[in-house]
C-alpha cells in the first residue's frame, strides 16, 4: 500500500504576527512537492491568521486540545473551536505535554477520541526518554502509549502516529535511520497485532526529533518512515527542503 508522505511543522510557543507573516510568505512561494501532505501548527493565538494566509494546499493544526466540547475549563481549547476556525488537524500527546504538563496516557487517549469524533485529524505522538531507551524499554513505553489510544478509538483512518524519541527533541541528536526504522516497524507490527493488518498497512508513521535539511532525505528512505514532525527547523527556510525530502531521494 502506498502511504502519502506527510510533513508537519510544529512551531511550538514561537512566533509573532510579523515573523509568521514572513514564514508563511516563504512557504506560499516555495516550490513544494505536490505528492507530500504538509501541515503547519502555530500557537493558538495565530491559528486564524495562518489559516487565512497560508496557501490552500497546506493544512493547519492546533498544538493541543481538550476532551470536552465546552465548559468551565479556563485556558483550554475544544476541538469544536478548532473546527470552527477551519482547522483540520491537531497534535496530541507530544512529549512536552506529557512531561511538562503531566498529561497521562489515558488523558491523551480521551483527547484523541474526542478530536476524531469532532472531525479533526490527529497526529498522535509517542516516544521514550533517554533513560527508557538506555534501559531497553523503548517498545514497552511506545506500546503502552499506543494501547491507551487504542482503548478509546476503533477507527485509525484519521490518525497519524508520530514517533518522537524524547532524547532527540531539540537536542540536535537524531535517531539513526536504522533506529527510526526499527521503532517504526515495531509500531506497525503492534498495530497489525492489536488493531488490524489493514490499519497497520494504511497508518502513516512520522518521525520527529531534530529533523533538518541535512538528515531528512536519508531518514525518508526508510520503508516505514512516512513523514516528519518538525520542530525548530519548521521556523526556518530549510523547512521547504525538508518538505521535499522524499523527492530528493
Catalytic residues: 94, 164
* Torsion 67-68-70-73 (CA) sign: negative
How far is Cα 28 from Cα 153, in angstroms, rounded to an integer? 35
Residue 102 to residue 157: CA distance in whole angstroms: 27
Beta-strand ranges (E) seen in the chain are 6-10, 37-41, 58-62, 89-92, 121-126, 159-163, 205-207, 227-230
Burial of 1 (0-12, 13-18, 19+ CB in 10 A): exposed
Cell of 216: 531528512
The position carrying cell 497485532 is: 193
Amino acid at each position: 500500500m502506498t502511504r502519502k508522505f506527510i510533513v508537519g511543522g510544529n512551531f511550538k510557543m514561537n512566533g509573532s504576527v510579523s515573523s509568521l507573516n514572513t514564514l508563511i510568505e516563504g512557504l506560499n512561494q516555495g516550490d513544494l512537492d505536490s505528492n507530500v501532505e504538509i501541515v503547519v501548527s502555530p500557537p493558538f493565538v495565530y491559528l486564524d491568521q495562518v489559516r487565512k494566509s497560508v496557501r490552500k494546499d497546506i493544512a493547519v493544526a492546533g498544538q493541543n486540545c481538550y476532551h470536552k466540547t465546552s465548559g468551565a475549563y479556563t485556558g483550554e481549547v475544544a476541538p469544536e473551536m478548532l473546527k470552527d476556525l477551519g482547522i483540520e488537524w491537531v497534535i496530541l500527546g507530544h512529549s512536552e505535554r506529557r512531561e511538562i504538563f503531566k498529561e497521562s496516557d489515558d488523558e491523551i487517549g480521551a483527547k484523541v477520541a474526542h478530536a476524531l469524533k469532532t472531525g479533526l485529524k490527529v497526529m498522535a505522538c509517542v516516544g521514550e526518554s533517554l533513560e527508557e531507551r538506555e534501559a531497553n524499554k523503548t517498545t514497552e513505553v511506545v506500546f503502552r502509549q499506543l494501547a491507551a489510544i487504542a482503548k478509546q478509538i476503533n477507527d485509525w483512518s484519521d490518525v497519524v502516529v508520530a514517533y518522537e524519541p524524547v532524547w532527540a527533541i531539540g537536542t540536535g541528536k537524531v535517531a539513526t535511520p536504522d533506529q527510526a526504522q526499527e521503532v517504526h516497524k515495531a509500531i506497525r507490527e503492534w498495530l497489525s497485532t492489536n488493531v488490524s493488518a489493514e490499519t497497520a498497512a494504511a497508518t502513516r508513521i512520522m518521525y520527529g526529533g531534530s529533523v533538518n535539511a541535512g538528515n531528512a532525505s536519508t531518514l525518508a528512505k526508510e520503508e516505514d518512515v512516512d513523514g516528519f514532525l518538525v520542530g525548530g527547523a519548521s521556523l526556518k527556510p530549510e523547512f521547504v527542503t525538508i518538505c521535499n525530502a522524499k523527492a530528493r531521494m
